[in-house]
Amino acid sequence: MNAVDAAALLPYLLLGGSILMVMLEISLHRRHAVSFGLTILGLSAAFVSLWIAATAKPQQEAALLLVDGYAVFFIGLSLAAAIAVALFSYGYLERGTGEREEFYLLLLLATLGACVLVAATHFVSLFLGLELLSVSLYAMIAYVRRRETSVEAGVKYLILAGVSAAFMLFGIALVYAEVGTMDFARLAALPLAGGPANVAVLLGGLALIVVGFGFKLAVVPFHLWTPDVYQGAPAPVSAFVSTVSKGAVFALLLRYFRLVDVHHYASIFILFAVIAVASMLVGNVLALFQTNVKRILAYSSISHLGYLLVGFLASGPLAMLAVAFYLASYFVASLGSFGAVGELSRPERDAEGLADYTGLFWRQPWLASILTLMLLSLAGIPLTTGFVGKFLLVSAGLESSLWWLLLALVAGSVVGLFYYLRVVVTMYLPLEGGPSSAIADQAGLPSFSGGLVLALLGAIAIWLGVYPTPFVQLIQDLVVAGS
């Protein structure tokens, strides 16, 4: 390893060192505040080290990882989201009982797996990153063991994640048997040679890989686990699954099928198009019938992944820009929404019922205002970052003439507006008998760390909605120029 390799791998080395430090701290001197501090320090150091990694030229590491501008952007997005989840988790865990320190170890491991995924250029690194992320999430989802719903959600995710891994491994085996390589770049360079039987094997392998990705992304028809897992998991973990986990898998999907060129395989392109339309429509329609806020956000996440697939199927630099910007916008709004849920939650249960939010504005106007802003951003209302993201996705779709996908996107957005506004209206309903200090005490005050993150996320949501130019330029320099 030379200096350039060390610079490119520095974020991974710092994350690995942080994992060891937290593990030793738990073994020798168990303190919640110390584990939390080490976690924030390690994630922040890894995030800052991206400036060093970005100065190196695109660096291929042992055919497994490619640390380029594309990877740097999505690693940074994953690390920033993980920092937000850690800050939300501190107050959330402080309000509960039981051991807290191992949660941060799992969070660091899952974040490392996500960072491996976004830079993977080989099926081996793909699977290692995916399993490191998934195995950590099993325990994170079921971490609050006293809640039956949490354990149930963890078991469901364990079983379905195992099934998706089996599909993906079988698909990888078929692709390798046909083309003799597991390297993405070499796979993309191979021509379609041989007879129909050979092409059928390759397409079958790619289809099974798509099924594996579909389970991880929770797109239709692989979405059935999503509402139960989101509802049962602790609110900060739901935020992590919704953002870091899905974002890393989608970044890998984008890199892999850009190299392989999904447009070259008409059947795979049609498969993705059907999944996109179904996710946009089914996710939004099912959310209409929910009275549980976490389940509403779960079905909402299904529809947002469908929106992202519109940019994925589009072609050209604008499509890459649209996907990267929309994914970042979704991270901000989703983290803020689940963060607000976590801040309102109590040790015995999360604040997930729609009735829990009745008159929230009269109890905690600041928290209700932040949650309103996040929901409006998810709905794509102007002056929020979600509007700019949807505008870019529609522009990319228009440029590629994806008319049916755009029609589904518009229809889904209209339906989605209803259930987002239903939550917003509930928060501004008058309380019976006027504001009550007892109700305000029951809701609980936001923790300092959680309140700080919510304020920052609110500022980012408005900034990217009003003046997105600097962030767009960053995406142009890192993602578009390097793809």
* Confidence (pLDDT) at 388: 94
Query: Tell me, what DSSP letter sits at residue 193?
Result: -
Which letter, b or e, does each residue of 332-347 get, where b requires 16 or more Cβ atoms within 10 Å of its Cβ?
A: bbbbbbbbbbbbbbee
Cα angle: 234, vertex 238, 244; to 5 degrees: 135
* Confidence (pLDDT) at 193: 46
Section 131-149 average pLDDT: 88
* Confidence (pLDDT) at 440: 41
pLDDT beyond 60 at 282: yes
* Confidence (pLDDT) at 17: 93
pLDDT beyond 60 at 433: no
Binned at pLDDT 50, 70 and 90, residue 483 comes out as low
CB 322 within 8 A of CB 405: no
CA–CA distances in Å: residue 438 to residues 343, 441, 444, 477:
17, 5, 10, 52
pLDDT beyond 80 at 324: yes
* Confidence (pLDDT) at 194: 46
Helix (H, G, I), strand (E, B) or coil at 7: helix
* Confidence (pLDDT) at 482: 57
pLDDT beyond 80 at 271: yes
CB 459 within 8 A of CB 372: no
Helix (H, G, I), strand (E, B) or coil at 67: strand
pLDDT beyond 80 at 19: yes
Structural tokens at position 421: 């506004």
Cis link prior to 221 (omega < 30° from 0)?
yes
d(CA 142, CA 127): 23
- Farthest CA pair distance, the chain: 77
Section 1-8 average pLDDT: 79
pLDDT beyond 50 at 438: no
Binned at pLDDT 50, 70 and 90, residue 307 comes out as very high
For 317, phi and psi rounded to 5 degrees? -60, -35
pLDDT tens for each residue of 42-99: 999 999 999 988 887 777 777 788 888 889 999 999 999 999 999 999 988 888 767 7
Quote the percentage of the chain above a pLDDT of 90: 50
Supply the pTM of this predicted model: 0.92
* Confidence (pLDDT) at 36: 93
Structural tokens at position 315: 């072609």
pLDDT beyond 70 at 163: yes
CA–CA distances in Å: residue 293 to residues 51, 155, 220:
38, 22, 20
* Confidence (pLDDT) at 442: 55
453 Cβ contact partners less than 8 Å away, ≥ 6 residues apart: 84, 87, 88, 335, 339
pLDDT beyond 80 at 272: yes
Quote the percentage of the chain above a pLDDT of 70: 93
Q: Compute how many other C-beta atoms are within 10 angstroms of the C-beta atom of residue 259.
A: 17
pLDDT tens for each residue of 331-376: 999 999 999 998 888 877 788 888 888 888 888 888 999 999 999 9
Give the chain's mean pLDDT: 87
Which residue has tokens 């300092």? Answer: 448
Binned at pLDDT 50, 70 and 90, residue 439 comes out as very low
